[in-house]
A and B are shown apart, each in its own frame.
Chain A
Amino acid sequence: MYDYIIIGAGINGCFLAHELSKYDLDVLVLEKGPDVASGATMANSAIIHPGHDPKPGTLKAKLNVRGNELYPSVCKEMDAAFRQTSAFVVATNQEELAVIHTLHEQSQTRNVPSEILDRAQAIYLEPNLSDNVIAALNLPSTGIITPWEVAFNLMEEAILNDVKLYLDTKVLSIIARPKTCYIDAKSGDSRYAYEVITGKGNFIGSNIINAAGVYADEIYSMLNPIDKFTITSRKGEYFILDKLPEPLVSRVIYPIPSSKGKGVLVVPTIHGNTLLGPSSEFIDDKNGDFTDTETLEYVRSQVKKTVKNIPFNKAIKTFAGLRPTGPTGDFIIEESFDFPGFINIGAIQSPGLASAPAICEYVMDTIIEKQVILKEKKTYIKRTKLPILYKMADSEKQKLWKENPSYGKIVCRCEHISEGEIIDSIRRPLGATTLDGVKKRVRPSMGRCQGSFCQPAIIEILASELNISVEEVKLYNEGSNVVIKGESN
């Protein structure tokens, strides 16, 4: 029996798996997708919001501020990129100016650093702000990360410390075993244990953490069809722009928030691209992460209101992500009343990413500490750093090349990623098994050609490393094979 079965390997599942791996506990993570970070963690704005805008008194407000505080040290510890960029909320008329004053006061009560800048001050720092911007709320503690990098690194270290991860494993149903099944170590009371039925076998856990993103409602209703909650998908569509000779913006640019969220943003990314988006529309289909002409046009029209000189012709990619939205507008983070030991982490929409380390801390402090005895492992293994060559000085690169010549062979010409790094990404403890997996770990195909030059090479490296045929290599999920078996005659 597992002490904890975590359902979902998104950012929250990864933070909890990593935290639990520090203790003498048996932990299993079940992930429906072919890789870690395959849902909302993969497709979002990648911003560590400062915590200026959630409604007072909400979990969102509390955990966002705390999450923002934790990220710099978490990223440092996990060898993941974090950059404190600061952000502007920009006002274009008197009504909006009043809103940024309110946000400023709200920030002050939360100890979120903020200041109001007039147009001249704002333009000095961000010359591409649109001509109708009259003032900006500066939020210096805002940061950016690469969300899946944080998730991968956390999960990789968790695996090194005996957490089991099953990918491509969809939970089909959950059964509460008889009440006598599990004796609570702390209280001595007997209670349910939970059997999780999947396509890859059945697993029993004394505690379950439901971190299933847009599917968290379905997971919980498998166990409790009466007292359930509903998660609705809110779709966000984005553009990614190529690296520009001069950055368009160096900070996150927010418009004035609305009932739909923080609005359509202009965001610098860790690797020097620019992200434009998201839109915000409720959809019925939890698989409906497609883009459409009207919405992309809407994103274009919205970002022009805050930023000028946007080179839309430098777009290299568009994508859509789904955010899990709950009934109250706040996060749902609680142990089930009817089913003790079953923890729901649901409705983690924005600022979910920014709150993730604080959500983990909150779950540990308020729920898990009451459930189990936390005894630290005697030996804890730190993951080794992944060498990232483009960041290194020539002398460092040369040293690596001497150890392994394949670090000298550039495969991805746009991002300068070597064959050695691609092989590393496959051989790591949480190794890539797909083209997208390689791309997310070490970035080949992320650049301006989007893989048209390097994909044929990477597909062969994957096939050779995984000892499969090239036809078996997938872009991402089951059935997404890139080249197909020819009917040779």
Chain B
Amino acid sequence: MREHELIVIGGGSAGLAAAIGAHKNGLKDILIIERADELGGILLQCIHNGFGLHAFGEELAGPTYAERWIYKLAETSIQVKLNTSVISITKDHIVSYSSKEEGYAKAKGKSIILAMGCRERPRGAIAIPGYRPAGVLTAGTAQEYVNIKGYSIGKKIFILGSGDIGLIMARRLTLEGAEVVGVAEIMPYSNGLPRNVKQCLDDYDIPLYLNHTVTFIDGHDRVSSITISKVDDNLMPISGTEKTFEVDTLLLSIGLIPENDLSEIAGIKLSPATKGAFVNNELETSVPGIFSCGNVLHVHDLVDYVSKEGESAGESAANFVLGKSNDKSESIDVECSSDFGYILPSKINILGDSPVEFMYRIKKPMRDVTIGIYSGDNLIRKTKKKTLLPSIMEKVLIEKAKLGESDIRIAIIKEESI
């Protein structure tokens, strides 16, 4: 069994940056295992632009953004296995994988970085009632069919859920000549970035039905129509508010879930809030030497931040392998009040002096709010926000010295709910 300094699982935006980050910080023997036939992950099917403003100061399409990182990779000694699926990871860092070339094999990593990305919630996750015809698919699958494979997935389309991929696909399919008749969102606000609502729906006169969900899918072979209903405050459909649309396709953009099947196999502790691993400020999971970054850790809004997190994970893995890690025996916990979906990291090592970047998401939209970060009872940072949206991942960087040795808590000081 080959042993590497680092094995990175997944060659998408997080994995690429992680490998490069580790290389920059002194690792030489790095292996990326990627199941697809090229590097880049989901970026390859994101042919719209809007990537790279933070990372490169310019607006790139997904494949171009990926290419930039792949070029960086080409300048290193990082090895890549394509068309290779990881089947399991053990606590002691043994990675089982398979491919046409090697069959069923194993490799060991002195360290491992998890960068498997996320998956879309399917129809069954929210139990959409009705028949089960063809023509119901997740927005990401539609994106692969249309953008990578060049197929048409439908002529008249309704979209459930206003996640970013759904919004992007509304525009994309319109440009492809399909008619997108509407988007329904169960919440009173969009789950996508405001700029996507504007550029993908408003600019194309595609109606967004807030507080609505799909309550019936009709069709014995292909979708023939879908029915939406308004929902009450408990998100339950209100009878008598049904609207039926004759469409041949229903796209689902109803949420992303970090894909932690392998993490579970490795016995890594997962957070119910993020559905990703619990990590400390070095992005290390509950299993020493295994790190997590990108959408497998928590679903990001911008790929630039995924790359940045990947690089940090790479740096941490390098420090771990080279024996430069800080002692972890003393740490403080980080938690959030119930207004927040989550905050990361969940633990901070007391030792070490790098500043800590906190990332958090709010549960529902808020306006004119002041957020406080406390170390024990001491307010150590106060941030005023004009608006806070669940679709936007907020970040705040705090110097290590300020954090102190008490547990950290984030809470709303003052708010005015929208």
- A374-411 to B contact mask, C-beta < 8 Å, 1/0: 00000000000000000000100110011001111110
Question: A293-B129, A470-B151 in contact; A452/B137 too (CB < 8 A)?
Answer: yes
Instruction: Give chain B's interface secondary structure class.
Output: mixed
Say how far A283's CB is from chain B's closest CB, in angstroms: 13
Say how far B277's CB is from chain A's closest CB, in angstroms: 14
Chain A contacts for B102, CB-based, 8 A = 408
Say how far B189's CB is from chain A's closest CB, in angstroms: 21
B100 close to A316 (CB less than 8 A)? no
Which segment of B52-60, B116-124, B353-361, B381-389 sits at the interface? Answer: B116-124
Chain B contacts for A448, CB-based, 8 A = 119, 122, 261
Report how far A476 CA is from B248 CA in the complex, Å: 16
A292 close to B129 (CB less than 8 A)? yes
B243 CB–A CB distance under 8 Å:
no
B122 close to A483 (CB less than 8 A)? no
Partner of B133, one of A414, A452, A480: A480
Question: A408-B98, A410-B85, A410-B87 in contact; A452/B120 too (CB < 8 A)?
Answer: yes
Chain A contacts for B130, CB-based, 8 A = 290-292
Report how far A476 CA is from B101 CA in the complex, Å: 33
- B93-136 to A contact mask, C-beta < 8 Å, 1/0: 00010111111100000000000000110111101011111110
Which segment of B18-26, B138-146, B323-331, B363-371 sits at the interface? Answer: B138-146
Within 8 A of B (CB), among A187-246: 239-240, 245
Partner of B154, one of A287, A470, A474, A484: A484
A182 CB–B CB distance under 8 Å:
no
Interface residues of B, CB < 8 Å — how many? 51
Within 8 A of A (CB), among B138-167: 138, 140-141, 144-145, 148-149, 151-155
Identify which of B104, B144, B220 gathers the most chain A CB atoms within 10 Å of its CB.
B104
Question: A406-B100, A456-B145 in contact; A291/B127 too (CB < 8 A)?
Answer: yes
Chain B contacts for A409, CB-based, 8 A = 83, 85, 98-100
A449 close to B120 (CB less than 8 A)? yes
B172 CB–A CB distance under 8 Å:
no
A245 close to B129 (CB less than 8 A)? no
Chain A contacts for B138, CB-based, 8 A = 452
Chain A contacts for B100, CB-based, 8 A = 405-406, 408-409
Partner of A413, one of B35, B122, B145: B35
A483 close to B99 (CB less than 8 A)? no
Report how far A313 CA is from B126 CA in the complex, Å: 8
Report how far A474 CA is from B83 CA in the complex, Å: 27
A316 close to B153 (CB less than 8 A)? no
Range of interface residues on A (Cβ < 8 Å) = 35 or more
A486 close to B124 (CB less than 8 A)? no
A481 CB–B CB distance under 8 Å:
yes
Say how far B156's CB is from chain A's closest CB, in angstroms: 11
Question: A292-B129, A416-B87, A483-B151 in contact; A405/B101 too (CB < 8 A)?
Answer: yes
Report how far A317 CA is from B125 CA in the complex, Å: 6
Within 8 A of A (CB), among B329-381: none
Say how far A464's CB is from chain B's closest CB, in angstroms: 13
- A416-457 to B contact mask, C-beta < 8 Å, 1/0: 101000000000000000000000000000001111110110
> In the complex, which residue of chain A has the Cβ closest to the Cβ of B229?
A293
Partner of B125, one of A315, A416, A455, A460: A315
Question: A408-B101, A452-B119, A456-B145 in contact; A290/B96 too (CB < 8 A)?
Answer: no
B67 CB–A CB distance under 8 Å:
no
Chain A contacts for B154, CB-based, 8 A = 484
B221 CB–A CB distance under 8 Å:
yes
B48 CB–A CB distance under 8 Å:
no
Report how far A239 CA is from B129 CA in the complex, Å: 11
B127 close to A239 (CB less than 8 A)? yes
B85 close to A484 (CB less than 8 A)? no
A452 close to B222 (CB less than 8 A)? no
Question: A394-B96, A410-B87, A410-B98 in contact; A316/B122 too (CB < 8 A)?
Answer: yes
B50 CB–A CB distance under 8 Å:
no
A36 CB–B CB distance under 8 Å:
no
Chain B contacts for A486, CB-based, 8 A = 151-152, 176-177
B261 close to A414 (CB less than 8 A)? yes
Other A-B contacts than A413-B261, A450-B123, 18 sampled, CB-CB below 8 A, are A289-B131, A292-B130, A313-B125, A316-B124, A398-B103, A408-B102, A448-B119, A448-B261, A449-B120, A452-B122, A479-B220, A480-B221, A481-B134, A482-B135, A483-B153, A484-B151, A484-B152, A484-B153
Sampled A-B contacts (30; CB under 8 Å)? A239-B127, A292-B130, A293-B129, A293-B215, A296-B127, A316-B122, A317-B123, A318-B127, A397-B103, A398-B103, A398-B104, A405-B100, A406-B100, A408-B98, A409-B98, A410-B35, A410-B85, A418-B98, A448-B122, A449-B120, A455-B137, A456-B145, A470-B151, A477-B221, A479-B221, A482-B135, A483-B153, A484-B248, A486-B176, A486-B177
Q: Which chain A residues have a beta carbon within 8 Å of chain B's beta carbons?
A: 239-240, 245, 287, 289-293, 296, 313, 315-319, 394, 397-398, 401-402, 405-410, 413-414, 416, 418, 448-453, 455-456, 460, 470-471, 474-487
